Amino acid sequence: MNSRSVSLFGFIFVLLTLTPHAGLLIGKKARAEARPKHSPGFNNRVEKVSIIVQQIGPDDSNLRSELQARGGSELRSFSALGFHVLNLPESAVAAISDRTDVAYVSPNRETQLLGHLSATTGADLVRVTSGTNVSGVDGTGIGIAILDSGMYANHVSFLDRNNGNRIARSLDFTGENRVDDPYGHGSIVASIAAGNGRVASGSYLGIAPNARLFNLRVLNSEGRGTVAGVLEALNWVALNAQAFNIRVVNMSLGMPAIDSYLNDPICLSVRRLVDSGIVVVAAAGNNGKDVEGNKVYGQIHSPGIEPSAITVGASNTFGTDSRTDDQVASYSSRGPTRSRWTDNSGITHYDNIIKPDLVAPGNKLVFAKSPGNFLVSENPTLDASVSAVDVRDMMSLSGSSMAAPVAAGAAALLLQANPSLTPNLVKTILEYTAQPLPGFNYLEQGAGEINIEGAVRLARLVRPDRASLALGDSLLTGTPSTYSNISGNTFNWSSIILTKYTSLSGISLITQYQQIYSLGVLIADGVLIADGVLIADGVLIGDGVLIADGVLIADGGVFLPYGVLIADGVLIADGVLIGDGVLIGDSGITADSFLLAYSAMNNGDLGGSPIEVDDGTDADY
């Protein structure tokens, strides 16, 4: 057997073979744990709080009656998602969460911003550009919904080839009753995803320059919003995606990752959209370092914690088209995810999923400026001063908020090249073709830096009759070379995909159809652990990624290819570490305690600053 095929799961299997009782106890304990059905922190006060109620089943008449009887008011319902938003006395939360038709109750938290492109990403190589006229794979026919602070609709970046406006619909979910962009963030995000490059002879060309845009304003004039506003926007997408061919959603925003993705209402909504065939891209966050500049792990924001989302961190190209000097931006949030739930015994369980999924250029990007916007008014250095005319002026921003729309635009290109792709296949292709950046581990860069040239090339080879394929069937119509050449630099693809806790590799991932590429499942669903024993789920995963005795039958790579694999323990399921048969626990992560070797620090809390507005001041150079 190839020695390189040993994976993290193989290491877990060996460890649990040596300490079987520990593994068996974990399996039994997990089944016995009861999960409270509301977020921590609710008190027994009579004051009303704004909450999100997740409903089970379609009939809500009885639930509505009790909510009203207990003093609930200002009820809003999102039928496509199964959520109710209302004000309710805090003392009534426990009773509501105990109902059999209620899955979970959480606060209506605040959401905030996190914060030569086409050449360095390889997008130029998949189309023909003559001056400012782009033909080929350019996003034509694909709708991208941008959940952000609005759009400056008059900017020339949003015109189509016939000078019509490509912003197909603008809706406000903030209560300010406006759809423009007084804050200044949404316009630059939208133009990164789909700007047409008409300013400065194509110098500021977006990734999918002919895609249709949907302006869903969920952040107000101060760059703030609520969970309820985001849910309302996602509900609108769910109800209207088919009519408008909205295939991609971009969310360059976030909130603290408190509730597990299993309970977080935005994460659950993202999962519903992905299960219906919509690609959802989320920014990882900008909390990759503390105030002293030290690396911090475990600061991925919601909804980037959702396994089905494509979570994107920021890379720094240092202003060059060459990819040889690219690095992960120091501020880009690192994994694993630290969202959590607490059982009835008071034990906290962390999700600890590998994120981000990949990185994309996000440092000092120059794109469409909304006139008189808050960000530039407060930070004049962000004004790129490209033009004295508002409809052609540009600004600069840095952050994972800028990296996410690069991936959203790339997803639109893949779906134009091959409309049969599922969200899981789009994610797989972007990860498999990514370029690993030397010196950075999976928790910093995911599978690597986005490679649009390779991704579109591979997407074109996927059989259009994908829906009729069975496990192990030939997936491609040809044999791709697994390397790319962008701006004169040749590099090998990562040739991996990430699951929740490890990576899978092998040519069978792209040459044979895997059931994990279907709708309604997670890529990670094919790898299971029960009572400490690994199970190969042959229904979901076929030849090349099957697990046998804890070892991948493939050209597998190690979990952290550019660092130490594990210090004294192995990460299992909800974050419990086992080292030499001793339960180490679940605490903070810093660079000094090293990645997944947890130190007993801060009683399980991670270091790092709170969510920051993406004002462009995080630039690395």
- In the residue annotation, 531 being an active-site residue is answered as no
| pLDDT tens for each residue of 348-377 | 889 999 999 999 998 888 888 999 999 999
| pLDDT tens for each residue of 159-210 | 998 899 999 999 999 999 999 999 999 999 999 999 988 887 677 889 999 9
Under the banding of pLDDT at 50, 70 and 90, the label for residue 322 is confident
pLDDT given at position 560: 36
Distance of CA 263 to CAs 55, 296, 306, 536, Å? 12, 25, 10, 27
| pLDDT tens for each residue of 529-585 | 333 333 444 456 554 443 333 333 333 333 333 332 223 233 333 333 322 222 223
Among 38, 84, 185, 349, the active-site one is: 185
Q: What is the pTM of this model?
A: 0.79
pLDDT given at position 129: 52
Distance in angstroms (rounded) separating the CA atoms of residues 23 and 532: 4
pLDDT given at position 563: 30
Q: Please name the residues in contact with 609: beta carbons below 8 A apart, sequence gap of 6 or more.
A: 287, 290, 291
Among 315, 332, 333, 401, the active-site one is: 401
Exposed / middle / buried, residue 226 (Cβ in 10 Å: 0-12, 13-18, 19+): buried
pLDDT given at position 597: 31
pLDDT at 503 over 50: yes
- In the residue annotation, 301 being an active-site residue is answered as no
pLDDT given at position 558: 32
| pLDDT tens for each residue of 507-535 | 888 999 988 899 988 877 655 433 333 34
Among 138, 148, 259, 264, the active-site one is: 148
Mean pLDDT lowest for which of 130-144, 274-288, 563-577?
A: 563-577
Q: Which residues, listed in sequence order, are joined to residue 55 by a DSSP beta bridge?
A: 102
Q: What structural domains does the chain harbor? A: 112-486 (3.40.50.200)
Determine the angle formed by the axes of helices 8-18 and 20-32, rounding to 10 degrees. Answer: 100
Write phi, then psi, for 531 (nearest 5 degrees).
Answer: 55, 35
Percent of the chain with pLDDT over 70: 76
Average pLDDT over residues 592-600: 30
Q: Please name the residues in contact with 138: beta carbons below 8 A apart, sequence gap of 6 or more.
A: 127, 208, 209, 210, 211, 413, 416
210 three-class SS = coil
Distance in angstroms (rounded) separating the CA atoms of residues 301 and 427: 19
Cα 35 to its chain centre, rounded Å, is 25
365 three-class SS = strand
Q: Is the dihedral angle over the CA atoms 151, 156, 160, 163 positive or is it negative?
A: positive
The chain-wide mean pLDDT, for the chain, equals 78
Mean pLDDT lowest for which of 20-24, 402-406, 436-440?
A: 20-24
Of residues 499 and 407, the one with the higher pLDDT is 407
273 three-class SS = helix
The DSSP output letter for 314 is E
pLDDT given at position 582: 27
| pLDDT tens for each residue of 444-501 | 999 999 999 999 999 999 999 988 998 889 999 999 999 999 988 999 999 999 988 8
Structure tokens at 210: 């002919």
Task: Tell me how crowded residue 318 is: count the other CB atoms within 10 A of its CB.
Answer: 13
DSSP of 24-58, one letter per residue?
HHHHHHHHHPPPPSB-TT----SSEEEEEEEE-SS
| pLDDT tens for each residue of 32-74 | 456 678 777 777 777 788 888 888 877 777 888 888 888 888 6
- In the residue annotation, 401 being an active-site residue is answered as yes
